[in-house]
Amino acid sequence: MKVGFIGLGTMGRPMAQRLASAGHELLVWNRTRPRPDAIPAGTVFVGNPTEACQAELVITAVSDDAAVESVMFDSQGRLVSTGVPGLIHVCMSSIGEGLARRLAEAHAKAGQSYVSAPMFGPPEAAQSGRLVIPVAGPHAAVERARLVLAVLGRVDVLSDDAPAANVVKAAGNFLMASVVESLRDSTALVHAAGVDPREFTGIITQALFPTPVYQYLGGLLANRENQRGVRVPNPFLKGAQQCAEAAKRLGVEVPMIDHVSKR
């Protein structure tokens, strides 16, 4: 398939490389021009996002809501209005459901389709095709996009309402944010009691939570606590905040989400 790909960052570059290696024809663009050796092999780097949209399907994999908006709606991009009729836009960024709904409406007015497909997994998973990708959007567009997304990992189709996938991604990130906060507090507590926090995380990752998430985050936080170093930031708080916004719109009481989102 001829695919436009916007965003060659930590996640975007290995995804674009994998798609090109699978035989898809890729037109790639990045907001800052990458070094020649950073452009995925077998792809064509184009001069602006409009050129990347001269394809059947375009994937955006940029950093956040502001980055998506700058590509889709501002004076430089206007991707929605310049994309070809029938274009399928697959957004793989972790954006809020409000922006996802705005994108879905804008694409529908332009005679195009919008699919939300935020991803779970590190860059290594993108490189090896082991991402987990919740997907939502119009059925025909999702089925077409699935042919491309399956190269990147496991595809879980959730709903014909695109923002549903963004709520799922935010909920997953809220759970990760909760892990960070609970590990931070518990390691600080045991350290104050005279216990090496690395011993503590060794115990809990054997007895209670023998998972890569707890092993990695627990070890990181324990080392920082033991060294009394700089506080480890919680990179998942954005997901908790997105969950709080979605819960407010849906009228759902979520006291734990509210609490974590304000940390």
From the list 71, 72, 63, 59, the residue with the least C-alpha distance to 24 is 59
How high is the pLDDT of residue 255? 96
CA distance 42 to 26: 8
Could you tell me if 218 and 139 are in contact, meaning their C-beta atoms sit under 8 angstroms apart?
Answer: no
Higher-pLDDT residue of 191 and 80 is 191
pLDDT per position as a tens digit, 57-93:
999 999 999 999 988 886 554 666 666 788 999 999 9
Could you tell me if 149 and 90 are in contact, meaning their C-beta atoms sit under 8 angstroms apart?
Answer: yes
CATH code of the domain occupying 2-161: 3.40.50.720
Could you tell me if 89 and 112 are in contact, meaning their C-beta atoms sit under 8 angstroms apart?
Answer: yes
Please report, rounded to a whole number, the percentage of residues in the chain having pLDDT higher than 90: 76
Mean pLDDT confidence for 100-107? 94
pTM: 0.91
Could you tell me if 59 and 6 are in contact, meaning their C-beta atoms sit under 8 angstroms apart?
Answer: yes
Question: How does residue 2 score in pLDDT terms, banded at 50, 70 and 90?
Answer: very high
Specify the DSSP class assigned to residue 37: G
Q: In what order do the strands lie in the sheet with 131-136?
A: 44-45, 25-29, 2-6, 57-60, 88-91, 113-116, 131-136, 153-159
Higher-pLDDT residue of 228 and 112 is 112
pLDDT per position as a tens digit, 141-150:
999 999 999 9
CB atoms within 10 A of CB 170: 27
Strand pairing partners for 60? 6, 91
pLDDT per position as a tens digit, 195-204:
999 999 999 9
The secondary structure of 101-159 as a DSSP string is: HHHHHHHHHTT-EEEE---BS-HHHHHHT-EEEEEES-HHHHHHHHHHHTTTEEEEEEE
How high is the pLDDT of residue 50? 87
CA angle 8, 44, 151 (to 5 degrees): 60
Mean pLDDT confidence for 17-27? 97
Paired tokens of 225:
């606590």
Task: Classify 257 as helix, strand or coil.
Answer: helix
Domain boundaries in the chain? 2-161, 167-261
CATH code of the domain occupying 167-261: 1.10.1040.10
pLDDT per position as a tens digit, 127-138:
999 999 999 999
Mean pLDDT of the residues in the chain: 92
pLDDT per position as a tens digit, 213-247:
999 999 988 888 776 655 778 989 999 999 999 99
Could you tell me if 93 and 62 are in contact, meaning their C-beta atoms sit under 8 angstroms apart?
Answer: yes
Question: How does residue 250 score in pLDDT terms, banded at 50, 70 and 90?
Answer: very high
Q: What are the distances in angstroms from CA 226 to CA 181, 193, 205, 223, 251?
A: 17, 12, 17, 5, 42
CA distance 258 to 263: 9
How high is the pLDDT of residue 263? 84
Q: Which amino acid is present at 67?
A: A
